């Protein structure tokens, strides 16, 4: 096994393996959607209560959509014959990919999914297997099945079963590409009925794209398809039935001949297949979709060297206009499942493509701006396909697909109220999808220098390497060279990884940092020799002095010691910002909502005045992260019931906030369920915060720490942080034994803070 992946993949083999093995092996699990805490619950879920829905389904099979998970369940089926460009490695080897697909279904469209790997290279075996299990599912997503078997399997299953059968490698690519084509033609002022298109590649994706182009209005004779042997023309020998369907009468025999004068070229073939001379020969305002992965048929910069009038799309995320199936398949299935469609037909695919194209023309919401690092993309040559982080995808595409299913007569459960349906779709949305993406996009432009204090710690080291490889900035490791080399070997890397290392053996910096620290602490009873010892013996002090003295832009520390011990060191070496209180703030990211929780780590029992300052600073951080702060000051009482000495402190903080005339919504005191659950809005109609809160100010560190730790372990969401708010320098502290991903997030936030906050 090679030690290191190609640069584009940004990780080592061992790191990829560790990711899949940590915790529960793999990437998916099954959890119950019902409470099963009592004997009565068990009796209803299984015997004898389960007999009742069984009998109902036996009388009316359609009720399976009501009494089981069938209506929100998709099977991802593969035999591993065409895995992610890796080739035919077999069914079992394809399982990590299929689990990954299931994760995407859940993450982006709230669809439950199970991967099924069929150990057969025989199309009839696969057809029989899927047919026999199809009644369990609301839809089937075929994945990584080689041509021509994928055509045979999909076509036959559509005839045999009455649920959607969708081969994403074909139709997902086709839908996104068609959406991009619609917009590219609009921008270039060309008609879909007149353009000349060349498709280089004749595999499953290429054929599906060609068919959807034609179903969207491109005349049959205007599309020339090429394979490895050249143009597919009428009369050519050795052409199978799927290719021959797209053969045309033409004298062209090579790609070079066919592309001359073409308006559009779609590449679904191999790197380097399209040359600059070919691009030069195309018509005015050419459209180039170079979608081979990971290396396109021709790089966009090579196109722009010879044509400044071109519109370019690729399959890569590091260029504009990425043709990404993630924009399509989760939402297409969402719409199909919600009307219990019998199939996903051409009308539904065209509707999806048109909806995606239309969405790219609209002004983008702030979530997309955040994902683009603060830049607001506008419809044009470099934005013809919507961002994968556009929150409107979940409402726009399923709605269009559902309507097309109803209009074409394949919907078994038509939607009666589309306004209510859109509300249901929005409730599935996770507004935090673009949170870290937005932060990372921003810091990629500034390349901040971030210190990783625990340089030899394996998790910190992996985070630092990822920080560099993903282009987020320049890491600096505080480390002993020999110990670092041992850690590198453990994570699958050699010594030549090219990251800056620093430690107290640097005499010049030691003197510089000692002088800084002594100047800061000399009137607090600290002697110069004590400052010298602190700088040379404590890596947190060393790193924080680096930041304070301008030798680095930020730091992440703490993974090998208790949080409070690290904070104590930082309070001494850099201190808090003027007129600000130091506190911990966690972000809890779960399905449908992101919640900020403070103070989680610093102030044991905040006074009313301290609660006010924590609330104001938390609201400021929420705004910086792109949220509209709605602050709830929590207590074990709600608006005076029950009233105790401890609840009065929280109520006084609310009164003080009212006098401060802050510019964000707040209320309290209230219990957490009142703050978060909309069912309490009718009970307390006078409060705009009840049921709407996204910033929770905890009454004590005990309540906060217990709550966030329980959420992390039991809540099913993700905790980011705690962020250390109010420190005089952009430094974050990782809780003891954080994962590399958690440390990486904190490093990104430190870099982000150093850019947008004046220290």
Strands 593-598 and 665-670, sheet pairing: unpaired
CA 390 to chain centre: 11
Residue 468 tokens read as: 């560099």
Q: Interior CA angle at 708 toward 581 and 566, to 5°?
A: 50
The HSE-up count of residue 347 (CA atoms within 13 Å, CB side) is 13
How many Å apart are CA 571 and CA 584, to the nearest integer? 13
Question: DSSP readout, 135-185?
Answer: GG-SEEEE-S--TTHHHHHHHHHHHH-SS-EEEHHHHHHHHHHHHHHHHHH
Could you give the maximum distance between any two Cα atoms of the chain, in Å?
94
Comparing C-alpha atoms, which of 248, 236, 155, 137 is closest to residue 197? Answer: 248
Comparing C-alpha atoms, which of 588, 565, 546, 586 is closest to residue 730? Answer: 546
How many Å apart are CA 554 and CA 452, to the nearest integer? 9
How many Å apart are CA 745 and CA 751, to the nearest integer? 10
Helix (H) or strand (E) holding 733: strand 731-733
Mapped onto helix, strand or coil, the DSSP state of residue 471 is coil
**Cα 604 to Cα 220, 564, 609, 705, distances in angstroms:** 73, 11, 14, 10
Mapped onto helix, strand or coil, the DSSP state of residue 737 is coil
Q: Please give the order of strands across the beta sheet that includes 593-598.
A: 665-670, 630-634, 695-697, 593-598, 583-590, 718-725
Catalytic residue among 3, 4, 34, 46: 46
- Tell me, what DSSP letter sits at residue 678? G
Report yes or no: 750 and 731 within 8 Å, Cβ to Cβ: yes
Helices marked H in 216-293: 241-244, 255-259, 276-280
Burial-class residue 81 by CB neighbours within 10 Å (0-12, 13-18, 19+): buried
101 is catalytic: yes
Q: Where are the beta strands (DSSP E) in 471-578?
A: 473-478, 500-502, 554-557
Report yes or no: 178 and 353 within 8 Å, Cβ to Cβ: yes
Phi and psi angles of residue 81, each rounded to the nearest 5 degrees, phi first: -85, -10
717: how many CB neighbours lie within 10 A of its CB? 19
Residue 511 tokens read as: 């003197």
Report yes or no: 180 and 287 within 8 Å, Cβ to Cβ: no
How many Å apart are CA 338 and CA 347, to the nearest integer? 17
Catalytic residue among 101, 462, 468, 514: 101
Residue with token string 């919640």: 595
Helix (H) or strand (E) holding 470: none
How many Å apart are CA 86 and CA 586, to the nearest integer? 40
- Tell me, what DSSP letter sits at residue 322? B
Helices marked H in 276-326: 276-280, 300-306
How many Å apart are CA 113 and CA 334, to the nearest integer? 12
SS (H, E, C) 12-55: EHHHHHHHHHCCCCCCCCCCCCCCCCCHHHHHHHCCCCCHHHHH
First vs last C-alpha separation in the chain: 47
The C-alpha R_g of the chain, in whole angstroms, comes to: 29
How many Å apart are CA 196 and CA 281, to the nearest integer? 13
The torsion region of residue 732 among left (phi > 0), alpha (psi -120 to 50) and beta comes to beta
Catalytic residues: 46, 101
């Amino acid at each position: 096994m090679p030690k290191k992946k190609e640069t584009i993949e940004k990780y080592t083999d061992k790191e990829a393996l560790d990711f899949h093995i940590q915790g529960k092996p793999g990437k998916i699990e099954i959890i119950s959607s019902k409470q099963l805490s009592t004997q009565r619950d068990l009796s209803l879920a299984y015997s004898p209560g389960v007999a009742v829905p069984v009998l109902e389904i036996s009388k009316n099979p359609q009720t399976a959509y009501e009494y089981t998970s069938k209506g929100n369940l998709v099977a991802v089926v593969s035999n591993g014959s065409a895995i992610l460009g890796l080739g035919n490695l077999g069914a079992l080897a394809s399982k990590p990919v299929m689990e990954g697909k299931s994760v995407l279904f859940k993450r982006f469209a709230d669809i439950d999914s199970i991967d099924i790997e069929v150990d057969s290279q025989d199309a009839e075996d696969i057809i029989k297997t899927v047919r026999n299990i199809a009644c369990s599912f609301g839809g089937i997503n075929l994945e990584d099945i080689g041509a021509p078997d994928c055509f045979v399997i999909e076509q036959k299953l559509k005839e045999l079963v009455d649920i959607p059968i969708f081969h994403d490698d074909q139709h997902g690519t086709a839908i996104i590409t068609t959406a991009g084509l619609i917009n590219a033609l609009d921008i270039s002022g060309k008609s879909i009925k007149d353009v000349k298109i060349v498709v280089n590649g004749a595999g499953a994706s290429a054929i599906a794209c060609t068919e959807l182009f034609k179903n969207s209005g491109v005349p049959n004779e205007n599309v020339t398809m090429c394979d490895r042997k050249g143009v597919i023309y009428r009369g050519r020998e050795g052409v199978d039935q799927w290719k021959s369907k797209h053969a045309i009468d033409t004298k062209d025999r090579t790609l070079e001949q066919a592309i001359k004068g073409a308006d559009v070229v779609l590449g679904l073939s191999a790197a380097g297949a399209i040359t600059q001379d070919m691009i030069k020969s195309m018509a005015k305002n050419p459209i180039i979709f170079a979608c081979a992965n990971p290396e396109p048929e021709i790089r966009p910069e090579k196109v722009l060297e010879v044509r400044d009038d071109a519109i370019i799309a690729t399959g890569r995320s590091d260029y504009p206009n990425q043709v990404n199936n993630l924009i399509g398949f989760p939402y297409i299935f969402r719409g199909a499942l919600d009307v219990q469609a019998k199939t996903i037909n051409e009308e539904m695919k065209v509707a999806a493509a048109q909806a995606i194209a239309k969405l790219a023309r609209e002004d983008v919401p702030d979530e997309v701006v955040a994902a683009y690092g603060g830049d607001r993309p506008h419809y044009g040559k470099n934005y013809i396909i919507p961002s994968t982080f556009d929150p409107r995808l979940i409402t726009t595409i399923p709605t269009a697909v559902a309507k097309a299913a109803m209009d074409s007569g394949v919907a078994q459960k038509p939607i009666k109220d589309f306004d209510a349906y859109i509300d249901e779709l929005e409730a599935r949305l996770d507004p935090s999808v673009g949170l870290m993406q937005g932060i990372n996009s921003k810091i990629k432009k500034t390349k901040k220098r971030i210190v990783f204090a625990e340089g030899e710690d394996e998790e910190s080291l992996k985070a630092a390497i990822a920080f560099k490889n993903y282009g987020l900035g320049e890491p600096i490791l505080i480390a002993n060279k020999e110990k670092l080399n041992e850690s590198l070997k453990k994570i699958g890397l050699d010594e030549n990884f090219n990251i800056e290392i620093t430690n107290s053996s640097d005499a010049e910096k030691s003197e510089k940092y000692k002088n800084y620290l002594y100047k800061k602490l000399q009137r607090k009873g600290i002697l110069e020799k004590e400052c010298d010892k602190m700088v040379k013996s404590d890596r947190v002090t060393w790193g924080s002095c680096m930041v304070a003295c301008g030798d680095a832009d930020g730091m992440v520390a703490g993974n090998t010691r208790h949080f409070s011990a690290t904070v104590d060191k930082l309070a001494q070496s850099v201190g808090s910002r003027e007129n600000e209180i130091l506190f911990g703030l966690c972000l809890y990211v779960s399905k449908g909502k992101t919640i900020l929780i403070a103070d989680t780590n610093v102030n044991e029992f905040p006074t009313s005045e301290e609660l006010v300052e924590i609330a104001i600073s938390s609201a400021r951080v929420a705004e910086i992260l792109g949220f509209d702060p709605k602050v709830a000051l929590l207590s074990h009482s709600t608006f005076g019931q029950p009233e105790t000495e401890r609840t009065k402190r929280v109520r006084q903080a609310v009164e003080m906030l009212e006098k401060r005339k802050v510019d964000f919504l707040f209320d309290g005191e209230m219990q957490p369920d009142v703050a978060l659950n909309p069912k309490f809005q009718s009970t307390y109609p006078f409060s705009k915060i009840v049921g709407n809160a996204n910033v929770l100010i905890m009454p004590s560190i005990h309540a906060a720490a217990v709550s966030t730790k329980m959420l992390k372990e039991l809540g099913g969401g993700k905790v980011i942080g705690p962020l250390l708010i109010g420190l005089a320098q952009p430094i974050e502290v990782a809780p003891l034994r954080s994962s590399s991903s958690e440390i990486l997030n904190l490093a990104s936030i430190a870099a982000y803070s150093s850019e947008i906050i004046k220290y």
